[in-house]
Chain A
Amino acid sequence: MSPRFRAGDRVRVRDWFPPGHVRTPYYVRGKQGAIERVCGVFNNPEHLAYDHDDDPKTLYRVRFLQRDVWGSAERPDDTIDIEIYEHWLENL
C-alpha cells in the first residue's frame, strides 16, 4: 500500500461527519496542515470498532498551526500534531 502523501505535503482534513465510529477530532475537521511523517499502515479503527479488521489504511502525523485550528490563539505559531488516516485527508 503506497502512501498518497509525503512529509511536507499540505493537506486539508475533510469537513466530514460520517455516521458510525470516528476518531478524527471534531475541532480539526476542515482545517489545513502539513504532513509531518508517514506513520505506517494500520487497520482502520472505524472498522475495528465493529470488530472488522479488514481495512488497512495509511496513517499520517499531521502538523497544524494553532492559529489555523482555532482562528486565534494565545501562541498562534505553536503547533499541534494529530494522527489522521489517509481517507480523512485531501490535497491542498
Chain B
Amino acid sequence: MTSHPRGIHDLGGLPAGAVDRTEHQNDFWEQRVDALMRALGTLEPPVVRTDELRRAIEGLGAKAYDEMSYYERWIAAIVEILLEKGVITVDELSKKIDEIETREPA
C-alpha cells in the first residue's frame, strides 16, 4: 500500500512463523525486572510509565529487538529511560556492572 516506515514491533499481518506456545518458567532475574518496572511505574508520579517503556523498547533498533529476549528488552529500555531522566548516571551504572562482574560466581 505504502512505503511508510513500519516499526519493527508492528508486525500484524506479516509472516512470522509458528508461535511457541509451550509454558515456561521465568528466571529469577526476569521476575526482578518485572518487579522493578512495577515499582517504578506505580510511584506517584511514575518514574517510568508503561508507555515510556513501550516507546523505549520499540526504539531499541531492529537487530536488538529481534535478538533480545522479552525481559532483556525491558531492562534495556528501563536503563535507557533512567539514564535519560538522570535517575541514574552512566558512571554509576558502569561501576555497578564492574562490581557485579568481579563477584565470586554464585
Looking at chain A's contact residues, the main secondary structure is loop
C-beta contact mask, B24-61 vs A, less than 8 Å → 1, else 0?
00000000000000000000010001111011001000
Contact between A27 and B52, CB atoms less than 8 A apart:
no
Contact between B49 and A21, CB atoms less than 8 A apart:
no
C-beta contact mask, A54-74 vs B, less than 8 Å → 1, else 0?
000000000000000110000
CB distance from B78 to the nearest CB of A (A): 14
Separation of A48 and B56 alpha carbons in the complex (Å): 12
Contact between A50 and B52, CB atoms less than 8 A apart:
yes
Contact between A49 and B54, CB atoms less than 8 A apart:
yes
Contact between B2 and A17, CB atoms less than 8 A apart:
yes
Q: Does B96 contact A (CB under 8 A)?
A: no
CB distance from A90 to the nearest CB of B (A): 17
Separation of A30 and B4 alpha carbons in the complex (Å): 13
Contact between B10 and A25, CB atoms less than 8 A apart:
yes
Contact between A26 and B7, CB atoms less than 8 A apart:
yes
CB distance from B77 to the nearest CB of A (A): 11
Contact between B54 and A21, CB atoms less than 8 A apart:
yes
Partner of A17, one of B4, B45, B52, B54: B4
Contact between A49 and B51, CB atoms less than 8 A apart:
yes
Partner of B52, one of A15, A23, A25, A51: A51
Q: Given the complex, which residues of B lie within 8 Å of A23, measured CB to CB?
A: 54
Contact between B55 and A50, CB atoms less than 8 A apart:
yes
Q: Given the complex, which residues of B lie within 8 Å of A26, measured CB to CB?
A: 6-7, 10, 12-13
Q: Smallest CB-CB separation from B49: which chain A residue?
A: A48
**Chain B residues within 8 Å of A, Cβ to Cβ:** 1-2, 4-7, 10, 12-13, 45, 49-52, 54-55, 58, 85
Report the 8 A-B pairs with minimum CB-CB distance, sorted nearest first.
A48-B51, A49-B55, A17-B4, A49-B51, A27-B13, A21-B55, A45-B51, A27-B12
